[in-house]
Every structure is written in structure tokens, then in C-alpha cells.
Structure 1
Amino acid sequence: MDNQVLPPVSLSELQNLSNRADTVMNRLRDRVYAPGSEKKLELSFNVRSAAEMVGRSEKLIRDAEADGRLPEPQKDPETGRRTGYSLAEVNRMRKVFGTLPHRAPGDPPLVMAVQNFKGGVGKSTLVTHLAQYFALKGYRVCVIDCDSQASTTAVFGLNPDVDVDEDEDTLYPFFRHGGPATLHYALRATYWPGIAMIPANLGLYDAEYEFAARMARDHTFVLDKLRDGVESIQDQFDIILLDPPPALGMLSLSVLRAANALLIPAPPNNIDFASTAHFLKMMAATLGEISQHGGARSYSFVKIVATKMDDQKSAHVAIKRMMDAVFPHDVLQSVLKDSAEIDNATANLKTVYELTGPARRTETHKRCRAYLDAVGREVETLIRKTWPSHHSDLRKEGIL
């Protein structure tokens, strides 16, 4: 048997490996991003669903269409039946009937980071689905992708390598010396009514180096620059979701400083939950240390949400039970269970909320949608509790 020592791998061979990986990624992107096409929201709601979303009866909607307060609905030329309402049309109904759930001018915008220093815990899955859940409810949402991997950017229909310029479209210019004074330059509308976003791409990784260089000279610039940027645009939105990189770096620390609420995804397995425990310890220690330079930060709420939960695995059930016992007031009651529906949608750069046609009628889809809706409702309630203008309605609903 030949015990020949393995030859060293040269830089040129590493470059060849990188080039081949690029070939695979380009083929995948060609499959997902059709040339010259833009991602569109194909959701449609019948009059019953629209009435439930708007909070008014079908009759009131028909009356408003008849008297001109709402436009005549589109109808199938053969059957004469309504073809359905888009989300934009549902929001128009909400505006006419005064049922948009926007915060009042005196309510603080909710800036929530979905954060864990470990990758693969469902961070971007939560961000994209929560953003779309809130949009379906009629809120004004902004998603800021702070992760150079740009998974959230891709789900919202942008090819990070083609559609996003790090020198013009991402957070990177804002962090550079002499960069823009606000984040308005990077805001762009998405195909989802009610959702704007600031995208990311791999070039954002360079911001970490920029931060490291500036940290030695000016702590407050690094710590609170993102917070200043968020404050420059927050009046336009009810909810701002921050998707940070899964690492303890300058960008992640900036996100922690910019947010006023935290949602921590934590799969109930030994390795991932151990990482979450380390994250909480590191976060507390790090925030305590940097508060000496930039002042202390507090949060409206900090909640842990169990993700990728599998009821068929006894270890998952045991760890989730322990989480509930140790963190009785800090863990969401709702659980985001492991679902092939999410994996299949993500493989096509979609979310479960975007699926249409027969895919929406399967039992698997209905179960997954129920998990997502439950998490969304619980987080929505936490957010509404931070808005004084919503307290009266929350009391009527028996929540306060």
C-alpha cells in the first residue's frame, strides 16, 4: 500500500476550485433568475379573504365599490366573477375603511434584530417570513440586510452579484468616511406592497475591515453609525427588521446597538442551543463593555424563539421543555417547526407565504403556514404593546 504524502494544494488550484464553484452558482442562478425578469407577487385574495383582512364585511366592500369609494373589481369576462384582489388593493380597502394598523406618529418605530452569532439557526427564514407576515397585515416594513451572504436579499428577488452594487446599493457606502448622511440612498421598493429593503452582497464584508480601522480612532462612530442611519429613515415605517451576519463582528455589534428589540432564533438541539447560550453570555458581556464608550442600550423586548423544531426527536422535545423551564418568560410560546415546505420554498428563493395554486392546498403547507402565522401573531402582539396608540385595542382584545 502506497503511503505517499498528499501533495500541497497551491493557490492556483484553490483558484480553480473557486472558479468551478462559481460555475455551479451561476447555473443555479440562471435557473432561478430568468433573464430580464422581475420577481412578482402572484397572491390573490377572494372577497371573503379580503373582508377578513380588512376587518369589514363583504357587503361593505361591495357597497364601497358601488358608490365609487373603491374601484370596480376586475372580473372574469366569461363568468363575470371577481378574479381576486391583490395585496395592494386590500391595503387600499384598509385605507378607505380606516383599518390600516400603522403606528401613530407618537409611537416609537420598532427596530428588531433577528440575531444569533451562529449560522444555520433560521435567522433569514424568520426575517423574510416575518416581513411578509407584517406586510399581509398592512404594516409598513423595512428589511435591512446586514449579512454579506445576502440570503434575504436573494429571497426578495435580487441577484446579489448582478442587481446590487456595494458602492451604491448596500450599507457599505454609509459606513465609509465621507459617505451619505442618511440611508435614503439605499432604500428600494420590493415586489411586496408595504416592504422596502436595503440589500446586501459580498462586498459588504469589506465593511468589517473599515470598522476595524476606525474602531481604534473613534468608538462611537462604529458603535452608533448604523443606529443613526436607521433613525434617518424610521419615520417612514412601522417595523424595521435587521438581518445581521452570523458572527461576532463590528456589523453585528452595530446591529445590537441600532435595535430596540431582539428576537433570538434557537433550534432545540445540544449544539445550537449551546451556541445560543454562548451568544447570550457574549452579548451581555460585550454590550456591557461597549456601553462604557457609547452609553447603555435597552430593549423593548428580548425573546428566544425555538426554530427547526422536530416533535419526532426526543432530544428536541426534552431541550424545548428545558428552555421553557429555564426561560419561562423569555421564550415565545409559538414554535417554528422543521418543515420541508420551508426548505422547498427556499430552494426556489421563495417563502411559504408566496406559494400559490395547488401548493397552497396541501396539508403540509397548511400546517407550516399555521406555525409561521402563530410566530408572527405573537411577535406582532409584542410590537403593538410598545405602541401606546394600540393599547386601547389590546385591552378590548383581552391582551392587556
Structure 2
Amino acid sequence: MDLPIPGVDLDDLDRLSTRASTVIERLRDRLYAPGTEKTLDLSFNVRTAADMVGRTEKAIRDAEADGRLPEPDKDPTTNRRTGYSLSQVNAMRGVFGTLPHRAADDPPCVLAVQNFKGGVGKSTVVTHLAQNLALKGYRVCVIDCDSQASTTAIFGLNPDVDVDETEDTLYPFFRHGGPPSLHYALRATYWPGIALIPANLGLYDAEYEFAARMAREQTLVLDRLREGIETIQDGFDVILLDPPPALGMISLSVLRAANALLIPAPPNNIDFGSTAHFLKMMGATLAEIGRHGGTRDYSFVKILATKMNDQKSAHVAIKRMMDTVFPSDMLTAILKDSAEIDNATANLSTVYELTGPQTRTETHKRCRVYLDAIGREVETLIRKTWPSHHAGLRKEGVL
């Protein structure tokens, strides 16, 4: 009897894979031009720089005049300032003592942006939150724990070319007898204040390594990532973890390593249902692991509504339900569905990196409002975990 459609064998699957690889290569040839590196083209005028530094324009000009700050770059034709880079703004913060770093005895914030459901906006939140914090002068480390490596790509690295899983990712650290510290994997990025531990597809093999080690070493192996973070944490204020969208060994390690959680959850039935299951599974799993390896507490756990569309009545209704069910657990800020984020991501970029005329559109301005609100709210939560910031928070009326 003839089949209504032809069957698909392994050769057919190989052909599909080859064609898909060709498409990916063409995209990467366009996005990763040979001999180029991603750069940050942001420039701030003296008024914006003064706002960022927390001093007046006159204070900046005086510091430049008396030599505490270098003379600003100027256009040779107009003799006007050409603007300040983020590195120069941070240098100003250093001179004026306004860098927002945690004190040495404050605990670093190890924040996991975690949900076992894919497509909820984890990498979008991680990359934009990292850049928002860096714009404010914080020292940020982003650890890409997801073998899909979306965060790595947005930070300018081609996961298949620029990253070696045997040397550059978490994979060597997870292996038995691996390096004693995570310093080997740290990379500076084109964003001042942001370091990256990248990922690529080879990191997926760590799941098998973990499974084998779990059989031999029980739950102690799940604390390996936490121990690695402790070897690098002195150089950072915030460490952001981008885990894979699955309940696997790496995701469990992330939950054990983090001291704070941010859970992105789009307000639709399927994604919200998955988030509810995630919370239930997370609680049960951590309780079981805690019985063997000690419990882990979190400074805060917050749910962030992502991909919100006010024009969809179902989104509005489910968001209202989320606020009712989780009255003190939801972030007030919302990440709304935005073409600006989609367009930036398509070019392996972020909204914070856009410059020129594209930043003057209403779409861009609205999107920046959403992203900045999330950044402010998360920043406040982080600062509440640092005793050295409590006096400042009280002065601001937050505590």
C-alpha cells in the first residue's frame, strides 16, 4: 500500500540540516563581517553626562579646567565638544565619587533570569538589564548558561567561530577536574563595565557530564557553578545568569548559584500556565536538593510580565489576574511587546545600542520607557540587599 506522502529518512534529514546551515551561514556572513568587531557608538553631551554623573555641567567643566579630568574631545571646525563615551562618563564618576558600586562587605547580587519555558524573553531581559546597569556605572558580569547562545551573539561573538566550548564556556569548569576558577572564561565586551562568559552549542554536553557526575557525587555537583561564581565575584556588583529553558542540570545549578530570581512571564494562557508549573517544580526540586546539599535562600523573587500587548483583551485580563494572585511578587514595570526590540534583536543588537535618527521615533521612546522602568525597579531591589546603600535609599525615600 502506497503511503499518502513519501517517508523521510536520515538522508533527507541531513539534507534539511545542510540547507538550514546554509541559511545560518548567510545570516552570519551579514551580521559578523570578517575582520570587524562590535563597537559601542553611544555618545553623551555634557548635559546628559552631568545627569549620569550626578553633578552639574559647571562641575564637569571646572574639573576639566583644573586637570582633574582630561580636556574633552572637540570638533576642530566648531571647537564644540563632540560628546563623551561611557568610559569617559565612568571616569567622571570616579573623580566625583559617584560610582554606585557595592561596598566590599556587601554581597554581590547573583540574579538569575529564570523560566523553564522558552520564548518568554529571558535573553532580552538579561541583555537589556545588563546594559541598563552598566550605563549607571555598575560592574556587571553576564554568564550565558544556554547552549543556544543568544546572549553571547548579542554581545558580538559568533558562538560557532569565536567561542571554543573546550576553553571559553562553562563546560570545562563543569567537567571533573576542571579549572579551579572561572577567570579563564571571562571576556571583556565592547560595553564598558560588562564582562561575559560566553556559550555555544557545545555547552549542551555539560548536561550529560552533570548526569554522570550526579550519579557518583550526589547533589554536591550542583553547587559547582555557585563555587565558580565565588571565585570571580569580587570584581562585580551584579552577576546575571541566563540559563537554558529547561529543567536540566545546568538550570538547577543556576537556581543553586543565584541569590535572587527574576521570572519573565508573558500574560497569555500557555506561558502563564508554564510559569505556574515552573514555580511549583522549582519549589519541589529545590526542597529535595536542599535536603541533601543545604537550602538556598533568595534576597528577592519577582515576576516580570513580558511581551505584554495592551490591545489584546486576553493579555489585559491575565495580567490583571497575575497582579491579583501575586500582589507583592510582580514587578510594577512591564516589558511590553515592541517592534523596536524585535528589530534590534534581528540585527543582534539591543535598544540601548541604537543611535541617530532611529532613537527619535515614538516607538523607540516608548520602548526605552519600559526598559528603563524595569532597570530602575530591579536596581532598587539590588541596592536593598547592600547595607552600604541603605542610607542613600532612605534619603531617596525608598526605605
Same fold (TM over 0.5): yes
**Rounded Cα–Cα distance in structure 1 between residues aligned with 2:220 and 2:19:** 40
Letter in 1 for 2:195: A
Q: Deviations for 1:287-342, whole angstroms, at most 9, x for unmatched residues?
A: 01111111101000000000000001011001111111110000000000000000
| Counterpart position of 1:41 | 40
SS at match of 1:390: helix
The alpha-carbon deviation at position 146 of structure 1 amounts to 0.1
Letter in 1 for 2:258: A
Conserved? CA contact 1:145–1:199, under 8 Å: yes
User: Are 1:74 and 2:73 matched, yes or no?
Assistant: yes
User: Are 1:288 and 2:284 matched, yes or no?
Assistant: no
| Counterpart position of 1:157 | 156
Conserved? CA contact 2:219–2:289, under 8 Å: no
Conserved? CA contact 1:112–1:260, under 8 Å: yes
The alpha-carbon deviation at position 383 of structure 1 amounts to 0.2
Q: Deviations for 1:97-126, whole angstroms, at most 9, x for unmatched residues?
A: 000000001100000000000000000000
TM-score (norm 1): 0.99
Residues 1-400 of structure 1: pairs in structure 2 closer than 5 A: 4-400=3-399
SS at match of 1:216: helix
**Rounded Cα–Cα distance in structure 2 between residues aligned with 1:398 and 1:77:** 46
Conserved? CA contact 2:43–2:86, under 8 Å: yes
**Rounded Cα–Cα distance in structure 1 between residues aligned with 2:220 and 2:355:** 45
The alpha-carbon deviation at position 220 of structure 1 amounts to 3.3
SS at match of 1:280: helix
Conserved? CA contact 1:182–1:229, under 8 Å: yes
**Rounded Cα–Cα distance in structure 2 between residues aligned with 1:134 and 1:10:** 50
Identity of aligned residues (%): 81
Conserved? CA contact 1:303–1:330, under 8 Å: yes
SS at match of 1:196: strand
**Rounded Cα–Cα distance in structure 2 between residues aligned with 1:72 and 1:220:** 56
Q: How big is the alpha-carbon RMSD for the aligned residues of Structure 1 and Structure 2?
A: 0.9
The alpha-carbon deviation at position 232 of structure 1 amounts to 0.7
Runs of 4+ in 1 over 3 A off after TM superposition: 2-5
Would you say how many aligned residue pairs link Structure 1 and Structure 2?
399
Q: Name stretches of at least 5 consecutive residues in structure 1 with no aligned partner.
A: none
Q: Name stretches of at least 5 consecutive residues in structure 2 with no aligned partner.
A: none
SS at match of 2:70: coil
SS at match of 2:132: helix
**Rounded Cα–Cα distance in structure 1 between residues aligned with 2:332 and 2:48:** 27
Letter in 2 for 1:153: T
The alpha-carbon deviation at position 357 of structure 1 amounts to 0.3
Conserved? CA contact 1:342–1:351, under 8 Å: yes
The alpha-carbon deviation at position 9 of structure 1 amounts to 1.3
The alpha-carbon deviation at position 3 of structure 1 amounts to 6.7
**Rounded Cα–Cα distance in structure 2 between residues aligned with 1:55 and 1:377:** 16
Conserved? CA contact 1:222–1:250, under 8 Å: no
Conserved? CA contact 2:145–2:243, under 8 Å: yes
Letter in 1 for 2:376: R
Moved more, 284-293 or 256-265: 284-293
**Rounded Cα–Cα distance in structure 2 between residues aligned with 1:50 and 1:36:** 32
The alpha-carbon deviation at position 16 of structure 1 amounts to 1.2
